Structure 1
Amino acid sequence: MTDYTKLIDAETSAFIERTNSYYPPDTIDYTIAQQREIYDRMCREFFAGYPEGVAVETSTIATTTHEIRIRIYRSAPQPTATVLYIHGGGFILGGLDSHDDVCAELCARTGHEVVSVDYRLAPEHLHPAAFDDAMSAFAWVASTRDRPILLCGDSAGGNLCAAVAHATRGRAKRPVGQVLIYPGLGGDRSKGSYVTHAEAPMLTMRDLEFYKHIRTGGADLAGDVTLSPLADTDFANLPPTVLITAECDPLSSDGETYRDRIIAAGGRATWFEEPGLVHGYLRARHTVGRARESFTRIVDAIAALGRGA
Structure 2
Amino acid sequence: MTTSGPDHVSGLDVAVFRAEAVAPETARFNQQLRERLKDLPGPEAGGGGLPLPPAEPSQRARTIRIAGRDGHELALRVIAPDHPEGVYLHFHGGGFVGGSAAQSDQVLERITRNTGLACIDVDYRLAPTHPHPAAWDDAESAAIWLIENARSEFGTDALAIGGESAGATLAASVLVRLRERRGSTGFQAANLVFGTFDLSMTPSQLLLGADAVPVSTDIIRACTEAVAPRNEQRQDSGLSPLYADLRHLPEALFTVGTLDPFLDDSLFMHVRWVAAGNPAELAVYPGGTHAFTSFPIPLADQANDRIDAFLRRVGRGRPAGQDRASSSVATS
TM-score w.r.t. length of structure 2: 0.79
Show CA shifts across 1:274-298 (max 9, x none). Answer: 11111011221xx211111111111
- Segment drifting more, 17-26 vs 87-96: 17-26
- Segment drifting more, 158-167 vs 61-70: 61-70
Letter in 2 for 1:231: Y
Letter in 1 for 2:195: P
Map 1:222-237 onto structure 2 (within 5 A). 222-232=234-244, 234-237=245-248
Question: 1:176 maps to what in 2?
Answer: 188
Whole-angstrom distance in 1 between the partners of 2:24 and 2:222: 29
Question: 2:227 maps to what in 1?
Answer: 215
Superposed displacement of residue 156, structure 1: 0.3
Select which of 60, 66, 71 maps to 2:72.
66
Asked if 1:276 corresponds to 2:287, the answer is yes
Whole-angstrom distance in 2 between the partners of 1:236 and 1:229: 12
Asked if 1:296 corresponds to 2:296, the answer is no
* 3-state SS of 1:72 partner: strand
Summarize the Cα distance change of 1:188–1:22 in structure 2 as closer, same or farther, 3 Å threshold.
closer
Map 1:101-112 onto structure 2 (within 5 A). 101-112=106-117
Letter in 1 for 2:192: L
* 3-state SS of 1:97 partner: helix
Whole-angstrom distance in 2 between the partners of 1:253 and 1:300: 24
Letter in 2 for 1:112: L
Question: 1:159 maps to what in 2?
Answer: 169
Whole-angstrom distance in 2 between the partners of 1:29 and 1:8: 34
Show CA shifts across 1:229-251 (max 9, x none). Answer: 0112x221111111001110110
Whole-angstrom distance in 1 between the partners of 2:201 and 2:101: 30
Summarize the Cα distance change of 1:182–1:117 in structure 2 as closer, same or farther, 3 Å threshold.
same
Letter in 1 for 2:298: G
- Segment drifting more, 99-108 vs 214-223: 214-223
Map 1:24-39 onto structure 2 (within 5 A). 26-31=41-46
Map 1:260-271 onto structure 2 (within 5 A). 260-271=271-282
Show CA shifts across 1:158-198 (max 9, x none). Answer: 00000011111253562111010110100774635642454
CA contact (8 A) 2:101 2:122 kept: yes
Whole-angstrom distance in 2 between the partners of 1:23 and 1:148: 44
Letter in 2 for 1:72: V
CA contact (8 A) 1:81 1:113 kept: yes
Q: CA RMSD in A?
A: 2.7
Select which of 44, 48, 54 maps to 1:46.
54
Superposed displacement of residue 78, structure 1: 2.4
Letter in 2 for 1:152: G
CA contact (8 A) 1:187 1:254 kept: no
* 3-state SS of 2:288 partner: strand
- Segment drifting more, 96-105 vs 15-24: 15-24
Asked if 1:247 corresponds to 2:258, the answer is yes
Select which of 138, 147, 153 maps to 1:142.
147
Question: 1:256 maps to what in 2?
Answer: 267
CA contact (8 A) 2:34 2:213 kept: no
Letter in 1 for 2:171: C
- Give ranges in structure 1 of 5+ residues lacking alignment: none
- Give ranges in structure 2 of 5+ residues lacking alignment: 1-16, 152-156, 319-332
Letter in 2 for 1:46: P
Whole-angstrom distance in 1 between the partners of 2:223 and 2:192: 19
* 3-state SS of 2:126 partner: coil
Whole-angstrom distance in 2 between the partners of 1:173 and 1:190: 27
TM-score w.r.t. length of structure 1: 0.85
Whole-angstrom distance in 1 between the partners of 2:55 and 2:38: 15
Whole-angstrom distance in 2 between the partners of 1:138 and 1:68: 12
Summarize the Cα distance change of 1:17–1:138 in structure 2 as closer, same or farther, 3 Å threshold.
same
Aligned residues: 294
Superposed displacement of residue 108, structure 1: 1.3
- Segment drifting more, 99-108 vs 184-193: 184-193
Summarize the Cα distance change of 1:300–1:3 in structure 2 as closer, same or farther, 3 Å threshold.
closer
Question: 1:78 maps to what in 2?
Answer: 83
CA contact (8 A) 1:82 1:114 kept: yes
Superposed displacement of residue 301, structure 1: 1.0
Whole-angstrom distance in 2 between the partners of 1:215 and 1:78: 38
Letter in 2 for 1:10: E
